[in-house]
Structure 1
Amino acid sequence: MKLLKSSLLGSAAAFAAVGAAHAADLPVKKAAPIEYVRVCSAFGAGFFYIPGTDTCLRISGRARFEGGYMTSNSRQAGSNAGDTSGYQGRLRINLDARTQTAYGTLRAFVRLDAGARTGYSGIGTSGTQVRIGQAFAGTGVDSAGRDIQQVNVDKAFIQFAGLTAGRASSFFDFYAHDFEITGNTLGSDNASTNLFAYTATFGNGLSATLSVEDPVFRRTPIFAPYSVNNSPVAPVVVAYNRGAPILVNSIDTVQRERLPDFVGALRLDQAWGSAQISAATHELNVGNIQTAVPAGANVNVAHTNSVQGWAVQGGLKVNTPFVAPGDALYLQGAYGEGAQLYTGYSAFSGSYAQNPSTIQGQKFSQFFSDATINPVTGQLQTSQSFTAVASYLHYWSPEWRSAFFGSYGEQSFGRGARFAQGAAYAAAGSSLISGPNAVGVPGTRFYQLSQALRDTYQFVAGASLIWSPVKDLDIGVEGFYTQIGLKSGRVIDADKNPGAYNAVASINNGTFVPRTATQDSVSQIRFRVQRDF
């Protein structure tokens, strides 16, 4: 028995040894090496190599909550008036990809913004964002005009060997509301436009840029007192009856996609701060005659020629660490002819219409048109605007900071433009002498009190307090005051007399005396919690 057991055990050991020997002769398949994400230190903190490439990528973003309050003295029926508060939640995702090449750094940057905004006041819905397709408005009974979902490709550009191509901030801009929560001061701030630019650097922080930019995001509507088939048109005199002008035609004022804007900037960046001088050209164009010329009329039709609007801007940023580390002062001024969005006169209310309201329940609307059409010559007359802004950022401590800011601006229409429009109204008859876009007939009381094409000014002042208890977290509040006013004369108070502009006959014959105003103002406050990562 012992002999049998020993034999079996010996046999098993022999088989095991033989099997091990054969296994040792077989090829061994090694596991594929794991390629861990490697830190890329060539472009600063946060970059890593995309596995399998020599491209470095940084992913960052932002989450934000805001709530706001704006005083309101109006709850007119059939409008959005009456809200005093609004709220929004927003997100941002950034992708920054860079590769070192023989020609320098090749960079692609993408930024996606999205958010949900409610409330006509406080945070407010943005007519400009709806106009250019960045926001989608709610349609419910209680949400129409008060609820907007926003999606915006804020940035999508390539940089290589001095070239910048894609969607980026305009090279015309300088201050661009850097120290503000709301961005309510006057001044150009076009953070998202399509462009193709070249920047040359000369050393010691000096650079020059020539940029070809999309004109659509800088357009304000050409003044048009009425519409035909939902197309805004401006009346012109094109026929004469025994020497007397007859208004028989209208020009389609919708601008066409023609020439791009040309922007040039000279910039200096040094340890003490920055300085920039920039200039831009902006084409204004309109369509042809909207309606047919009557048969037998003595016609003198002059095609409306396009004109080049233009703007210039100067800006200065001075770092003031001798007051407190991180402190800085911005000063900026701009002037434009037919280029109001380059001076940023309508920065707060936007230019989604030729006369949007800056204030809820506003007593009168400002007109932001870049030009009017002379009804006698049929040619464009540009408007003029200028803005000036100052903003100071102060750190009370590393965790607490405040911004103090203010701005002033004016917009004026071409000399004689309002009188010419009024004369055209007289020739046109009753269809063009009433309504909020009506200038009225010169010499009448309505002409004296109408709001259309009135030269205006705007003043803004405010301050903020922001607490950053930990890195990349801001909790802050901002309050500011906005005043708009007429440079001369008075206008009908549309809030106190909402139907006055349609009661033109009663105003002209003295049976109705409307309430009037010279200025209007509003105070606002906004609260923000923001986390950047």
Structure 2
Amino acid sequence: MKLVKSLLLGTAAGLATVAGAQAADLPVKKAIPIEYVRVCGAYGAGFFYIPGTDTCLRVGGRARFEAGYMTEGTRNAAGAGDASQFRGLARINVDARTQTGYGTLRAFLRVEIASRTGQSKMSSGTQLRIANAFFATGQDSFGRVQEYVTADKAFVQFAGLTAGRASSFFDFYAHDFEIIGSTLGSDVPSTNLLAYTAKFGEGWSATLSMEDPNFRKNPLYSQAAGTAPGAGTASSLFVGTNAPTPVILARNAAGAVVAVGQIDAVERSRLPDFVGALRYDAAWGSAQVSAAVKDINTGGPLLTNANLFVAGPAAARIGTGAYYGSQTTYGWAVQGGLKVNAPFIAPGDALYLQGAYGEGASIYTGYTSFTGTYANQTAVYGGNPFNQWLADAVVNPNTGRVELSNSFTVVGSYLHYWSPQWRSAFFGSYGEMRFPNGVRTALAQIGTAGLANAAGTAYPTTNLITSAPGTAGFALSPVLRDTYQVVAGASLIWSPVKDLDIGAEAQYIRVGTLNGRVTNSDRSTTVGGLPLYPVTAQDTFQTRFRVQRDF
């Protein structure tokens, strides 16, 4: 037995020696080092180093559900009757930062995708007009269903420079505490810009920004389209536009209008908007003063024959009428804002106060926030009594010159924490918009009876003011009427865990004329051709419920 054990041990030892010798002849491979993701603490929570680089990255996002309700008029008007709205939204954020000898190099991206429904506010005409949303084609032909994909943010920041798609530097409060976001005040979260910010002193900064003008252009007043008859030949009224505005070319000895032309009222992109902001930030809060200037332009005449719409012999006409060419003028706006932190009331409490005034700059003052933007008139809600006019400017038909509307807004918003899990916002705003004196009267003098050319062919001039000055029809017309708006509301939000919000908000909105009454288009009852129930204002309510998770 001892002999067998000795033989086995000897054989095993021999095999081990041979195997060791063979292994010594093989090449040795080093294990590939594993590079673990490291936490980057330089820029706050959530950042990590991209493996193999010195760039810190944070990926986040948002999931949101919203359901809304808004009071509507009767179903006499097209699209009225849709009181409920819904929206589902997805957001992805990517924030990349690298420390350099010039400071932090940052790139930030945010993409939003949403599906929203309903005829009023949740499914937004403003977003369609600015190409942030598109119709979901199918059975619905009124735009109640919208799909929404946008590059909400895409900018680079380096050594004081901000370049790309970002929030306008003019803005301050920007509906920070609101769910619906309808108070009157400037809020353009996505525009294309190139800006430089200089910091100085303790908490002071100054910014000069060149911003895309297309996100701040509210259209000029324009009339309905038509085709003009020629003297023996057909002649188109329009040259590459569908927004004409009238100009009185001549009157006869009695003062009656005998020659009318049309000017191209579509604004082209000629110059960027220039924005300047001075800001102060401290532990108690922040303050900002900002200003903006923008160009407002019109094209030339839309006639192929300047005498096409002249009635009567030349000897009966006096003067050459209005200026009749393209022109550029400048709108402007100023804004001041103050934020005061109020931890002495409750941790997280804060108060915003803001006011703005502008001429030819209704989107900068934020007067269009609730009713709608990128339209010279729009309905307050489906089936509403009258449309609100929001044009930045009007071409005076007597002079042919662009004259600016003016607007102002004031807003206050307070956020209060009842407890760490419960909070409420209370907010209110007021604004007014006024149009140049005399323009409505001049437009009404053109009338709708029509003129004739030298051959006697009638030209039915289109005019949105259909009644002569001094008549009840003229007094009750809503076209280019000075208006005011009130928006007030409150919310209650519960956050049972971090980054989860479940809440609701309710608003009251009132839109009215600053003087006189207007026809109630929601009621067709008339006496002697005049409305039986003219109105001075319209009221509506809206509510919205939200469930939102940020990560």
* TM-score category, normalised to shorter length: over 0.9
> 1:338, 1:371 within 8 Å by CA — same for their partners in 2?
yes
Match of 1:76 in 2: 76
Q: 1:3 to 1:475 in 2, by over 3 A?
A: closer
Q: Is the 8 A contact 1:407 1:460 kept in 2?
A: yes
Q: Write out aligned runs for 1:403-422 (5 A).
A: 403-422=425-444
SS in 2 for 1:418: helix
Shift in Å, 1:354:
1.4
Report the equivalent of 2:262: 250
2:57 aligned residue: 57
Counterparts of 1:194 and 1:365, CA distance in 2 = 31
CA separation of 1:65 and 1:288: change in aligned 2, threshold 3 A: same
Take 1:426 and 1:89, find their aligned partners in 2: how far apart are those partners?
Answer: 47
Taking the aligned partners of 1:440 and 1:340, their CA distance within structure 2 comes to: 28
Instruction: Map 1:415-494 onto structure 2 (within 5 A).
Output: 415-425=437-447, 428=450, 431-432=460-461, 437-438=464-465, 440-494=467-521
Q: Distance in 1 between matches of 2:474 and 2:265?
A: 23
Question: Could you tell me the percent identity over the aligned residues?
Answer: 59
Counterpart of 1:139 in structure 2 is 137
For the residue of structure 1 that corresponds to 2:375, the secondary structure is coil
Question: Is the 2:250–2:258 contact (alpha carbons within 8 Å) kept by the matching residues of 1?
Answer: yes
Write the deviation string for residues 470-508 of structure 1: whole angstroms up to 9, x where unpaired: 11011101001000000011111011129x8xxxxxx8x
For 2:7 and 2:343, how far apart are their aligned partners in 1?
Answer: 93
Checking the alignment, whether the CA contact within 8 Å between 1:222 and 1:254 is kept in structure 2 is yes
Give the direction of change, closer, same or farther, for the CA distance of 1:439–1:59 in structure 2 (3 Å limit).
farther
SS in 1 for 2:127: helix
SS at 2:498's partner residue? Answer: coil
Shift of 1:360: 2.3
Counterpart amino acid of residue 356 in structure 1: T
More deviation, 227-236/449-458 = 227-236
CA 241–418 in structure 1, closer or farther in 2 if over 3 Å, else same = closer
Cα drift, residue 203 of structure 1:
2.3
CA pair 208-225 structure 1, distance change in 2 beyond 3 A: same
Does the aligned pair in 2 maintain the 1:340–1:384 contact within 8 Å? yes
TM alignment of 1:211-250, pairs within 5 A: 211-228=209-226, 231-239=242-250, 245-250=257-262
- Spell out the pairing of 1:166-205 with structure 2 (5 A cutoff): 166-205=164-203
Aligned-pair Cα RMSD in Å = 2.4
Residue range with higher mean Cα deviation, 333-342 or 421-430: 421-430
**Residue 128 (str. 1) matches residue 126 (str. 2):** yes
Alpha-carbon distance, 1:512 to partner: 4.7
Matches within 5 A, 1:305-344: 305-344=327-366
Per mean C-alpha deviation after superposition, the further-off stretch among 419-428 and 43-52 is 419-428
User: Is 1:286–2:284 an aligned residue pair?
Assistant: no
2:92 corresponds to 1:112: no
Partner residue in 2 for 1:163: 161
In structure 2, the CA distance between the partners of 1:399 and 1:4, relative to structure 1 (3 Å rule), is closer
- Distance in 1 separating the partners of 2:276 and 2:530: 53
Residues 135 and 151 in structure 1, CA contact (< 8 A), matched pair in contact too: yes
Taking structure 1 as the reference length, the TM-score comes to: 0.92
Does residue 531 (structure 1) correspond to residue 531 (structure 2)? The answer is no
Q: Distance in 1 between matches of 2:509 and 2:297?
A: 32
> Comparing 235-244 with 89-98, which one deviates more in the overlay?
235-244
Letter in 1 for 2:18: V
- Measure the CA separation in 1 of the matches of 2:394 and 2:74: 31
Cα deviation, 1:303-336, whole Å, max 9, x if unaligned, reads 2421100000011111111111111111110000
Partners of 1:511 and 1:176 in 2: CA distance: 45
Question: How many correspondences in the alignment?
Answer: 520
Tell me the CA shift for residue 52 of structure 1. Answer: 1.2
CA distance in 1, matches of 2:529, 2:222: 29
For residues 80-111 of structure 1, the C-alpha deviation after alignment (integer angstroms, 9 at most, x for no partner) is: 11011111110111100000000000000011
Please say if 1:264 is aligned against 2:276. Answer: yes
Provide the rounded CA distance (Å) in 2 between the counterparts of 1:59 and 1:170: 23
In the aligned structure 2, how far is the partner of 1:441 from the partner of 1:522?
A: 32
CA gap 1:295/1:66 in 2 versus in 1, 3 angstroms:
closer
Q: CA deviation at 1:27?
A: 1.9
Are the aligned partners of 1:433 and 1:441 in contact in 2 as well (CA < 8 Å)?
no
Q: AA paired with 2:52?
A: G
**Alpha-carbon contact 2:257-2:445 (below 8 Å) kept:** no
Aligned-pair distance for 1:293?
Answer: 3.0
* Deviations 1:240-286 (CA, angstroms, capped at 9, x unpaired): 56686433310111111101101001111001111111100011111
The 1:490/1:48 distance shift into structure 2, 3 A limit, reads same
Cα 1:168–1:27 change in 2 (3 A) is same
- Structure 2: distance between partners of 1:163 and 1:439: 52
2:21 is the alignment partner of 1:24 = no
CA contact (8 A) 1:458 1:484 kept: yes
SS at match of 1:422: helix
Separation in 1 of the partners of 2:212 and 2:225? 27
Note closer, same or farther for the CA distance 1:26–1:379 as it changes in structure 2 (3 Å cut).
Answer: same
Task: For 1:35 and 1:492, locate their aligned partners in 2 and report how far apart those are by CA, in whole Å.
Answer: 73
SS in 1 for 2:440: helix
> Structure 1 241/212 Cα, relative in aligned 2: closer, same or farther at 3 Å?
same
CA distance change for structure 1 residues 22 and 518 in 2, over 3 Å: closer, same or farther? same
**CA separation in 2, counterparts of 1:280 and 1:141?**
43
> Mean alpha-carbon deviation: is it higher for 132-141 or for 420-429?
420-429
The match for 2:454 is none
Q: Secondary structure at the match of 1:268?
A: strand
Long gaps (5+) in structure 1: 501-506
After superposition, what is the alpha-carbon deviation per residue over 1:363-414, rounded to whole angstroms, capped at 9, x for unaligned?
Answer: 0010000000011211101001000001111111111110000000000001
Listed one character per residue, the Cα deviations across residues 173-229 of structure 1 (whole Å, up to 9, x for unaligned) are: 011011100001100000000001011111211111110001101111100022256
Paired residue for 1:387? 409
Partner of 2:229: none
SS at 1:411 equivalent: strand
Decide whether the 8 Å contact of 2:397 with 2:439 is kept in 1. no
Greater CA drift, 22-31 or 233-242: 233-242
Other-structure match for 1:503: none
Partner SS, residue 231 of structure 1: coil
Shift of 1:7: 8.4
SS in 2 for 1:129: helix
